[in-house]
Chain A
């Protein structure tokens, strides 16, 4: 049972870091437009202007 004293705080720490990352993503606006990027990636107009 003693191992819980290490594993539980470790899990919480890890999950806490992940939550912090997701919150950062929200604040950066990554969830503002959920539609555009999904459609944009299948469109073929990402030609490199320098190669043309």
Chain B
């Protein structure tokens, strides 16, 4: 950040600068981020540009008069990626400050704990190591002095957590931590002043370091998962081009749009608000609200939804709902409500600690009382009670869950499954039923050419080449499918006609005169007086019965054939469904698509139950019904993509969103899948179950350790030295057990 800040400082001398944040879409590898970064740096007026590949965000410092965000967005789009500006102050800074703050505390704690440990080893060796009394006293004071900042400043997050927990009348895991740390510290100070045999400054700083380490690891895993989610917020456009009464245009913030305003939407732009088309015609990619990957035609009079993208054709829209009251806002509200309905699931470790913390306190107090009654000296009483508190310090217990959760989340991330919290992992382990959306989840969400139906005497290659020439540089999914197939077949595009007109919903007309090219529906051909007959008509009809889509190709008034395409199932759909069944998870396909397409997809994937023509609200109802029917501890998982599933994702026990391709991730999702595999679902369930076993083992180990060690300490067998060593060992055992998850592999 200071690099950017220094650029700002330098800029204030030479002229005003601004800092812009951009969400980037379509990054595949670090090469992409390098390319974008290079282009941004070379752009006019840019002083500093960094692309963060982990979070898919760019930060650019540029001269205030250099054209601003719009120029940068255009530049990134020119490279073949998408960019959306976002509010740096609101989204980035708080999380960034927190993460850096935690890292600094961890480093300082590591430094302090390391040095205190070094000194303590010398002290434990004592006179055998040749220490004289003066040196010994000096070293003790030094160890205590170093552990004070560790137990106070570094442990500040624990103090805050414990206090806010107590204010809510809850004993969180922070309470025993704080108690153990402060007892060890106070006992060290008292012991140093009174010159007792041992001090335990090392325990105080080591406890802080170990627990900070566990939490930092957990936080970094979580940040990875949530970072992608925030991009959704940026999907709604921030500016619109409004047409004034005199016909000229002005650029205004979306918040200033009023009902009745007319806005102009250029091809490829997102529509700023809900409204009605008053001029022009376009195909609109409504995947955001309907989940359907094929754009739909909208002409004058049609309603359009804010934040959906106009694929081609310039349109003018009369605004029907202001920014805060549109469909996107309603979906957000629906989401919020669905989320508040969710019962608050307490973390397992916290549940244990509510019993654990008071037990330790009682044990320590009982020990002190017992030894006092037995007539021990005050120093012995304090020493034994402190040993109990230290040995019972919940390091292992504190690490038991986070270490396993972190290892599992880290392993899952490498498999392309991002868990947003430990809770999501816990709930995923209980999966008993999976409701699955079709487009983009069970299928890849991109159409693919399945068959080339060529007229007699026409080669498949010619068919593709003709279609390609007509489509030109179109970004329409069908055009992309044709382009991919053409590249595979080695079909070279014919020279592109100079004139090209899109007929939304029908297809494309390219060129004028006798050589006119047509690509599109049968209706388009009929409009131009081209008949489809014979073998082409027969085979095309057969493809349509299978559920395929069709694009007919004609040239100079003659039908050359048809290209059949389908949105294919994911390669591993059937094995993934079979694996889920072996895991005891029943799969149901719930789709908004028509019955024929749904039956075809479910049949191919081996899914026995399916429902077609289900609206987004219907999906929420289905999820609720499934949850109501589920037995105690059985979780209902919903997997989908697109904003239309957001409410269903939130209503389920576990919402899994597929973010691959569309790069749109969801607030409502507990789990975001970035891998283009359906196998990610059984992976997630199986891994979550393994993690659940590790967590239970770890909690068992931690409690066993306490059950053995606490009585030993209370009996005075285990002195503070032994207590500190036992405490560290138990943490190591628990961490080692958790780390086994990093090598987890799905069972075949």
Known contacts A26-B107, A40-B31, A45-B38; can you find 13 more A-B pairs with CB under 8 A?
A1-B135, A11-B115, A12-B115, A19-B107, A23-B107, A26-B103, A27-B2, A27-B100, A29-B3, A29-B96, A32-B99, A36-B33, A36-B51
CB within 8 Å of B: which of A15-41?
15-16, 19, 22-23, 26-29, 31-40
Complex-state Cα separation, A32 to B57, whole angstroms: 11
Interface string of B114-155 (1 = CB under 8 A from A): 010000000000000011101100110010000000000000
User: Which residues of chain A are near B33, meaning CB under 8 Å?
Assistant: 36, 40
Complex-state Cα separation, A12 to B131, whole angstroms: 20
User: Which residues of chain A are near B96, meaning CB under 8 Å?
Assistant: 29, 32
Most buried by A among B31, B42, B96: B31
28 A-B interface contacts by CB (under 8 A): A1-B130, A1-B134, A5-B138, A8-B142, A12-B115, A19-B108, A23-B104, A26-B104, A26-B107, A27-B1, A27-B2, A27-B104, A28-B3, A31-B103, A32-B54, A32-B96, A35-B30, A35-B53, A36-B30, A36-B33, A36-B34, A36-B53, A38-B30, A39-B53, A40-B33, A45-B31, A45-B34, A45-B38
B52 CB–A CB distance under 8 Å:
yes
User: Which residues of chain A are near B51, meaning CB under 8 Å?
Assistant: 36
Cβ of A43 and Cβ of B34 under 8 Å apart?
yes
Cβ of B31 and Cβ of A32 under 8 Å apart?
no
Complex-state Cα separation, A28 to B35, whole angstroms: 23
A6 CB–B CB distance under 8 Å:
no
Partner of A36, one of B2, B52, B99, B130: B52
Minimal Cβ-Cβ distance residue in A for B27: A36
User: Which residues of chain B are near A4, meaning CB under 8 Å?
Assistant: 135, 138-139
User: Which residues of chain B are near A12, meaning CB under 8 Å?
Assistant: 115
Most buried by B among A11, A19, A38: A19
Partner of A1, one of B1, B54, B103, B131: B131
User: Which residues of chain B are near A43, meaning CB under 8 Å?
Assistant: 30-31, 34
Interface size on A, residues (CB 8 A): 28
B29 CB–A CB distance under 8 Å:
yes
Complex-state Cα separation, A16 to B99, whole angstroms: 22
Most buried by A among B34, B96, B142: B34
Cβ of A33 and Cβ of B132 under 8 Å apart?
no
User: Which residues of chain B are near A40, meaning CB under 8 Å?
Assistant: 30-31, 33-34, 53
Cβ of B1 and Cβ of A29 under 8 Å apart?
yes
Complex-state Cα separation, A43 to B31, whole angstroms: 6
B55 CB–A CB distance under 8 Å:
yes
Known: A15-B111, A40-B33. A28 touches B53 (CB 8 A): no
Complex-state Cα separation, A38 to B131, whole angstroms: 48
Main DSSP-derived SS at the A contact region: helix
Interface string of B55-94 (1 = CB under 8 A from A): 1000000000000000000000000000000000000000
Partner of B115, one of A15, A35, A38: A15
CB of A1, distance to nearest CB on chain B (Å): 5
Cβ of B53 and Cβ of A33 under 8 Å apart?
yes
Known: A1-B132, A4-B135. A19 touches B111 (CB 8 A): yes
Interface string of B616-658 (1 = CB under 8 A from A): 0000000000000000000000000000000000000000000
Cβ of A32 and Cβ of B30 under 8 Å apart?
no
Complex-state Cα separation, A40 to B108, whole angstroms: 30
Cβ of A33 and Cβ of B54 under 8 Å apart?
yes
Complex-state Cα separation, A12 to B142, whole angstroms: 11
A-B residue pairs, 5 tightest by C-beta:
A36-B53, A39-B30, A33-B52, A40-B30, A19-B111
User: Which residues of chain A are near B111, meaning CB under 8 Å?
Assistant: 15-16, 19
Complex-state Cα separation, A29 to B7, whole angstroms: 14
Cβ of A26 and Cβ of B100 under 8 Å apart?
yes
Minimal Cβ-Cβ distance residue in B for A23: B104
Complex-state Cα separation, A19 to B3, whole angstroms: 20
Minimal Cβ-Cβ distance residue in A for B97: A27
CB of A52, distance to nearest CB on chain B (Å): 13
Cβ of B35 and Cβ of A45 under 8 Å apart?
yes
Complex-state Cα separation, A45 to B51, whole angstroms: 16
Complex-state Cα separation, A28 to B104, whole angstroms: 12
Minimal Cβ-Cβ distance residue in B for A1: B135
Complex-state Cα separation, A45 to B130, whole angstroms: 61
Complex-state Cα separation, A28 to B7, whole angstroms: 12
Complex-state Cα separation, A16 to B53, whole angstroms: 32
Known: A8-B142, A19-B111. A33 touches B55 (CB 8 A): yes
Partner of A34, one of B54, B115, B131: B54
CB of B428, distance to nearest CB on chain A (Å): 25
Cβ of B35 and Cβ of A22 under 8 Å apart?
no
User: Which residues of chain B are near A45, meaning CB under 8 Å?
Assistant: 31, 34-35, 38
Minimal Cβ-Cβ distance residue in B for A35: B54
Minimal Cβ-Cβ distance residue in A for B110: A19
Minimal Cβ-Cβ distance residue in A for B6: A28
CB of A42, distance to nearest CB on chain B (Å): 9
CB of B216, distance to nearest CB on chain A (Å): 11
User: Which residues of chain B are near A19, meaning CB under 8 Å?
Assistant: 107-108, 111
